[in-house]
Structure formats: C-alpha cells, structure tokens
C-alpha cells in the first residue's frame, strides 16, 4: 500500500505539466493541444480522489474492473474516464457507458461488438474510440499492424455507432528514446495519410501516445493525449 499526500501529487502534476508545456513549445505547438490523462491504475480510489482534487479530470485505467470500481466510488467527482487497456468482449457492456474515450480499439471483432452494444442501448451518441496500432511489432502487444489500418475503412464504415477519433500507440519495451520517437513519428505519418484518405469520414484529430518515460518525444511528434502514471506518484511511500 502506498501513501502519498495531495501536495505531493500536486507538485508532481505541476512538474509534468511544465514539461508538457516545454515539449509543446519546442515543437512549436500550443500546450492546449496536449491533454494529460492521469493513469491511476497503480493507486486505490482514495489516492485517485486526490488526483482529481489536484485538478486533473482526465483519468485512465487499463483494467475494466478497476475502472468500474473507481467510477462507482468516485461518482461524486467530475471525471472523464479513459479506458486505455485491452477490453475483453465480456466487459464491454459495463464499461462503455462509463467512458469518455476508449483508447484500445485493437481488433475488428472488438469494434464490431462495441458498435453492436452501442446500437442496442438508448445512448444515441456514437462511442469515441481510437484505433490501437502495434507500431513496435511486439508480439505481446495488442493492436493493428500499421500496414493493416488503411484497409479498415470499408469495415469501419459499417459501424455507424463508433466515432474513430484517432490512433493510439506505445513504444516497444526494448526501445530507447530515439527509437520510441521514430515509432511515434511513424504513427503520426500513418494518421496524416489516413486523414487524407478518409477525409469526410473520420476526423482523426487524436494521437494517444507517450507515457512517463517518453511523453516529451511523443509530444514532439504530435501527441494530443499523453497517458502518464508513475511520474505522478513519485515520492509515495512504498512506491
Ligand atoms: C500503465 C500504462 C500507462 C502509464 O504508464 P507510466 O509509464 O506509468 O506512465 C500508459 N498507457 C498504458 C496503456 C498503460 O497500461
């Protein structure tokens, strides 16, 4: 069990935000283009509440069960939940009413089931989702191969209850920072070419890439959503 104070979280958040601003500035981008998603998967609901109190409303979880539990415990907070991990099909129904953005659209089968579930509910808004691209080729990672994505348009056009907002990716486990940055550039280039090819269908404004170890490189390459966990909880006892 880790303990951390709200002051510590606030200081960590301020530091991360300053680094985001600096990375955006050196890329000639505006800070407002980059949204921080605080990944709270390492901490309990009480600590997650401190993150919200420290003025961060975009929270990410990678396991559906944890997201459900925290969404229930923190129902009094204004939170935009981001589901950032693989979503098993039997967890779809309980998860999607809670989420603001689903980052890990990682297979056509999942997308089809999500579309079907959304169509079966009274929720008229399409579900916002990102396509996860396995840009490092790691066998253990989920997601579409980069070369597979352009061919998805026909299949996606049959899923009217999904709004594809962009792409999500992770650097490889073994990547150094220079390699990570090249991966992020590859994802941005893929997004840019899709934006042209899919014009009038999907906006593809979002690029979810960058974690505690590589978010500045991701921002340099166009990230609009950075998913940051461990950097926010530094200085916790037992962390
Ligand atoms: C855990 C996790 C993160 C956050 O990682 P940190 O290195 O702790 O910042 C980001 N994205 C995904 C998909 C994760 O599972």
pLDDT at residue 235 in the model: 86
**Burial level of 4, CB count in 10 A (0-12/13-18/19+)?**
buried
Q: What pLDDT does residue 236 have? A: 75
Residues lower than pLDDT 50 in the chain: 1, 239
pTM of structure: 0.96
Residue 12's pLDDT is what?
A: 96
What pLDDT score does 167 carry? Answer: 98
Q: Which atom of ligand 1 is nearest to the CA of 228?
A: 9
CA of 86 to the centre of ligand 1 (A): 12
For the domain 6-232, what is the CATH code? 3.20.20.10
Pocket test for ligand 1, best of 62, 86, 213 (most atoms within 8 A of CB): 62
* pLDDT of 238: 52
What CA–CA distance (Å, rounded) separates 118 from 138?
31
Per-residue model confidence (pLDDT) at position 237 = 66
Instruction: Using the mean position of ligand 1's atoms as its centre, give its distance from the Cα of residue 104 in Å.
Output: 12
Local structure of 20: helix, strand or coil: helix
134 within 8 A of 143, measured Cβ to Cβ: yes
**Residue listed under structure tokens 């997004």:** 191
Task: Please enumerate in sequence order all residues whose Cβ is within 8 A of that of 18, keeping only pairs 6 or more positions apart, or say none.
Answer: none
The residue whose C-alpha atom lies closest to atom 11 belonging to ligand 1 is 227
**Ligand 1, atom 15: closest residue by C-alpha:** 62
What residue ranges do the domains of the chain occupy?
6-232
Residue 55, pLDDT score: 86
């Amino acid at each position: 069990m880790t303990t951390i104070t709200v002051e510590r979280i606030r200081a960590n958040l301020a530091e991360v935000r300053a680094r985001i601003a600096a990375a955006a500035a050196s890329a000639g981008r505006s800070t407002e283009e980059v949204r921080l998603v605080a990944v709270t998967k390492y901490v309990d609901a009480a600590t997650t509440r401190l993150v919200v109190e420290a003025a961060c409303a975009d929270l990410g979880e990678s396991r559906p069960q944890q997201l459900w539990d925290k969404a229930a415990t923190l129902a009094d907070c204004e939170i935009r939940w981001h589901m950032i991990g693989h979503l098993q099909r039997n967890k779809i129904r309980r998860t999607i009413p809670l989420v603001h953005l689903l980052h890990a659209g990682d297979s056509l089968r999942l997308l089809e089931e999500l579309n079907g579930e959304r169509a079966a509910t009274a929720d008229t808004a399409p579900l916002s989702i990102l396509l996860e691209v396995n840009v490092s080729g790691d066998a253990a990672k989920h997601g579409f191969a980069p070369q597979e994505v352009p061919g998805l348009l026909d299949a996606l056009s049959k899923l009217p209850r999904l709004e594809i907002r962009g792409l999500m990716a992770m650097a490889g486990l073994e990547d150094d920072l220079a390699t990570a940055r090249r991966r992020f550039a590859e994802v941005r280039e893929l997004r840019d070419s899709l934006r042209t090819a899919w014009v009038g269908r999907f906006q593809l404004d979002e690029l979810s890439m960058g974690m505690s170890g590589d978010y500045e490189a991701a921002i340099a390459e166009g990230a609009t959503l950075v998913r940051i966990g461990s950097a926010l909880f530094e200085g916790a006892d037992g962390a």
